[in-house]
Amino acid sequence: MTDFSMQIDADGVAILSWDAQGKSMNVLTLESLRDLDALVAQALADDAVKGLVITSGKKDFAAGMDLNVIARMKEDAGDEPARGLFDGIMGMHHALRRIERAGMDPKTNRGGKPVACAVPGTALGIGLEIPLACHRIFAADNPRAKIGLPEIKVGIFPGAGGTTRLVRKMGAMAASPFLLEGKLSDPNAARAAGIIDEVVPPTELMDRAKAWVLASVGTDLSKPWDRKDYRMPGGAPYHPAGYMTYVGASAMVNAKTFGAFPAAKALLSAVYEGALVNFDNALKIEARWFVNVLMNPSSSAMIRSLFINMQALGKGANRPDAPDQKVRKLGVIGAGMMGAGIAYVAANAGIDVVLVDSTDEAAAKGKAHSEGLLQKGVSRRKVTEEKKSETLARITPTTDYAMLQGCDLIVEAVFEDPQVKAEVTRKVVAAVGPDAIFATNTSTLPISDLATASDTPDQFIGIHFFSPVDKMQLVEIIRGKQTGDRAVAKALDFAKQIGKTPIVVNDARFFYANRCIIPYLNEGVRMVAEGVSPSLIENAAKMAGMPLGPLQLIDETSIDLGVKIAKATMAAMGDAYRDEAVDRVLFPMADEGRLGRKAKAGFYAYDDKGERQGLWPDLAKRFPRAAQQPTLQEVQERLLFAQSLEAVRALEEGVLTDIREGDVGAILGWGFAPWSGGPFSWLDILGAPYAAERAEELAATHGDRFAPPQLLEEMAERGQSFYARFGSGTAKAA
C-alpha cells in the first residue's frame, strides 16, 4: 500500500492522488516522496498520458513533511551525515524538478506535459513546495484552509525548493513574510499574494484543473526561471532595487532575531546566494544551507520541543488514567485581568461560563473584556458577528455564588491573598455540587496550603495561566500534596478544550515557570549593581535568544511586583535569603515610583504615551560603570545558566517530572531561547561535562547560586545527556 495512487482518465489525464494510509492528514515521508516520483516518471513516460493533476484524497492537501523524519534525518544519514543529508535533499530536488520539467527537452524547453496541482484545503510546508513545482496551482475556495511555509517556526526553512521557487516567483521582498515569519494565508489571500494561481469553487476543483491540463497540452509550459529572459521580480542583489531589499532584509532579520536563530541566517544566505546563480545551482545552494541548518543541534532541539513534544503534551502525554473530564460549565471567580481572560478563552471554546466578582460592575467589566477582544476580531474579519454574539451569550456575569450551581470546574482568580482565597473557596464549595473540581490561578501561594480551605483537597488543584491569557499558550497545572488524579485529568482536559499546552508540576515555591524566570531577572539586576553596562545586559540576553532583556521584562511585569515577591520570599526563607544585592537596586526604584512601564519610569525611560525611549540615563549615575566589563559570552552564560540550573533543581526536587514539560514550558511560558529547544536541550547542546565545569567556574566568581546541581555533576561524570536519560518523558530524576 502506498500513499500515492494514480488513475488515468478517459481524456488521458493522470490523476495522482495523495492519501496517507491510516492518517487523517497527509504528511510526507521519504518513502511517499519516492512513490510520488516513481508515479510521475511513469506518467511522463506513458504516451497515453497527456498531462497530470496532483491532488489529495483527503479534505486537505498536506500538513508538510513528517517532522519526526526530519528530526531523525541526521541520525539516519550514516557516518558522513552532512553528505548523507545533502544527497537526500538533492534527491527531493530531483523529484520536484522532474515534476517541474515534466519531460521537456533540456535545450528547447519544449515537449513537456502540463502538471496542475489541485489543492482542496490546507497546504503547508512541503505540502506547498510540491504545488510550487507544478505548472499551475488551483485551490478550492475554502476559507479555513491554510496555505504557507511555516518551517522557520521550528528552526528550519523550506528546503525542498520552496525557498528558491517562492523567491523566484514573487521576488525576495514579497516572499519574505512567508519565508522569514512563516506567514499563513487562506486561499484567496495566497492568490492575491501570487503564491497560488486560481481559487475555484470546491465542487469544480478537479474539473477546472483537468480542463486546464487538457487546454495546455502542447504549449510551452516552462517556468519563468527556466527561460533565458528571466528577471527576478523586485531585482536580483546587484540591481539597485534588489540591493535595497537584500541589505534591508538582512538588517530587519538581525534587528528581530539578534542573530540568535541559525535558520533565519541560513535562509537569508540561501536566498541571497541563490539569487546570484541559475535555478539549478540555486537549488544546490539551498540544499547546502539546509544541511547546515539540519546539522546544527538547534534545529533538532526546536523540532523536538516545539513540534513533537508540544504535540505529545497537547494530546495529554501525562494525563492520569481517568474517564473523560471535559468541562461543561465553568465558574470563574474574580473578573479582573486574569479571570476575564480565562472566561474569554473558555467561552471562545464553547464552554458556558459563570463569571463572579464582588460587584456587578466588576463582573460586567470582566465580560466587557471578551467583548473588546471579539470586536477586535470582527474588525479584522477574523470573527463573525454571529460567533461574537454566541461567545458573549455564554458568559454570565454575576455576584451571586448560587449561580455556580452545575459548574463542574471552578477557576479562582481573586486577589493574591490567602485569606480572600480561603473565604472564596468556602463560598464556592458551599454553592457547587460535590463533584466539582476547584482550581486556583495563584502565582505564588502554595496549592497545598490553599487546599486546606476545602473539605475535598483531592479535588483542589492549581491551574496557572499566564498573562495575557488569550495569547499565552502555556498553562501550568500544579498538583498539591493531596490533589487526586481526577482533578489533574480535569485540568488537562480543560487545557485541551481551550487549545492550550499544559505542563503538570508538583507544588513548590513559584512552581516551575516563575521559579526559573526570577533568577533570570535577578541576574540582570545583580549585573546592574555590579556596574555592568545595562545595554550589554539587555543585548546579551537578546543575542542569546531571549525575547526581552531582563531589565525590560522587569519593567513590563512591574518593579513593585518584584519587590512584593522579594519581601514574601525573604519572610519565607529567613536566613537562607540570598538576594539582597537585587533588593538594593529594586527597592529604592520602587520607593521613588519607578515602577516600570505602567508608571512610565523604570529601568527604561518612557514618553508620555508610555513608549519605551531607551535605558534610563540616570541608571549609569546610580550604578557607575565598572572599569572592566565582562565579555558578551560571560553575560549570556550568567543569564542562561541562572535559568537552566534552576530548571535542573526543579527536576532534581521532583517539581518537574518530565524534561519535555520543562523545555516546552520554558519556551511557551517565558520565552527561554527558543533556538535552543529549552533549558534542558540547551544544557544537552553544551554537553553535561562543559555545563558542569562552566557552572563551577561561575559559582567561584559569582556565588553559590551557580553551583552545579548534583544531578548535573553526576551526568557530567557519566557523560550523559538529559534527553538520553530522561527523554521518554516517564523518567523521574531519582
Give the interface with ligand NAD as residue ranges (CB under 6 A).
Answer: 333-339, 356-358, 362, 413-416, 420, 424, 441-443, 464-465, 467
Is 514 in the active site?
yes
CA–CA gap between residue 426 and residue 456 (Å, rounded): 11
Task: Name the catalytic one among 318, 443, 454, 676.
Answer: 443
Residue 410 CB, nearest approach to ligand NAD (Å): 12
Residue 419 CB, nearest approach to ligand NAD (Å): 10
Pick the closer one to ligand NAD by CB: 18 or 511: 511
Residue 565 CB, nearest approach to ligand NAD (Å): 10
Residue 417 CB, nearest approach to ligand NAD (Å): 8
Pick the closer one to ligand NAD by CB: 311 or 359: 359
Residue 717 CB, nearest approach to ligand NAD (Å): 39
Cα distances (Å, whole numbers) of residue 703 to 128, 286, 515, 581, 690: 52, 46, 18, 12, 18
Say how many CA atoms lie within 13 Å of 700 toward its Cβ: 5
Q: Provide DSSP, 216-283.
A: HTTS----GGGSTT---TT--TTSHHHHHHHHHHHHHHHHHHTT--HHHHHHHHHHHHHTTS-HHHHH
Residue 511 CB, nearest approach to ligand NAD (Å): 10
- b/e code 283-300 from CB counts within 10 Å (16+ = b): bbbbbbbbbbbbbbbbbb
Q: Provide DSSP, 679-722.
A: HHHHHHHH-HHHHHHHHHHHHHHH-GGGSPPHHHHHHHHHT--H
Per DSSP, 114 falls in state: P
Pick the closer one to ligand NAD by CB: 69 or 420: 420
Task: Name the catalytic one among 68, 254, 514, 535.
Answer: 514
Residue 465 CB, nearest approach to ligand NAD (Å): 6
Q: Any idea which residue has 524566570 for its cell?
A: 517
Residue 401 CB, nearest approach to ligand NAD (Å): 9
Length of the chain: 734
* Secondary element (H or E) of residue 542: helix 534-543
Q: How many helices (H) and strands (E) does the chain have?
A: 31, 21
Cell (9 digits) for 165: 521557487
Region of residue 624 (left: phi > 0; alpha: psi -120 to 50; beta: else): beta
Helix intervals (H) in 544-658: 550-557, 559-573, 580-591, 619-622, 632-652
Contacts of 110 (CB under 8 A, 6+ apart): 104, 220
Do residues 461 and 491 touch, judged by C-beta distance below 8 A? yes
Among candidate residues 85, 64, 92, 73, the one with its CA nearest the CA of residue 150: 64
For the chain, the first-to-last Cα distance in angstroms comes to 45
Per DSSP, 57 falls in state: S
Do residues 154 and 302 touch, judged by C-beta distance below 8 A? yes
Among candidate residues 308, 345, 572, the one with its CA nearest the CA of residue 463: 345
Contacts of 577 (CB under 8 A, 6+ apart): 569, 570
Contacts of 212 (CB under 8 A, 6+ apart): 114, 116, 136, 138
Task: Name the catalytic one among 100, 151, 476, 538.
Answer: 476
Among candidate residues 475, 516, 544, the one with its CA nearest the CA of residue 648: 516
Q: Any idea which residue has 519587590 for its cell?
A: 563
Taking CB positions, which residue lies at the least distance from ligand NAD? Answer: 336
Do residues 461 and 478 touch, judged by C-beta distance below 8 A? yes
Is 476 in the active site?
yes
Q: Any idea which residue has 488569550 for its cell?
A: 470
What's the Rg (C-alpha) of the chain? 28
Per DSSP, 576 falls in state: G
Residue 466 CB, nearest approach to ligand NAD (Å): 6
Contacts of 722 (CB under 8 A, 6+ apart): 659, 680, 681, 683, 684, 688, 715
Among candidate residues 504, 522, 525, the one with its CA nearest the CA of residue 513: 504
- b/e code 469-497 from CB counts within 10 Å (16+ = b): bbebebbbbbbbebbbebbbbbbbbbbbb
Decide: residue 558, CB within 10 A, 0-12 exposed, 13-18 middle, 19+ buried.
middle
Do residues 271 and 172 touch, judged by C-beta distance below 8 A? yes
As annotated, the active-site residues are 443, 464, 476, 514
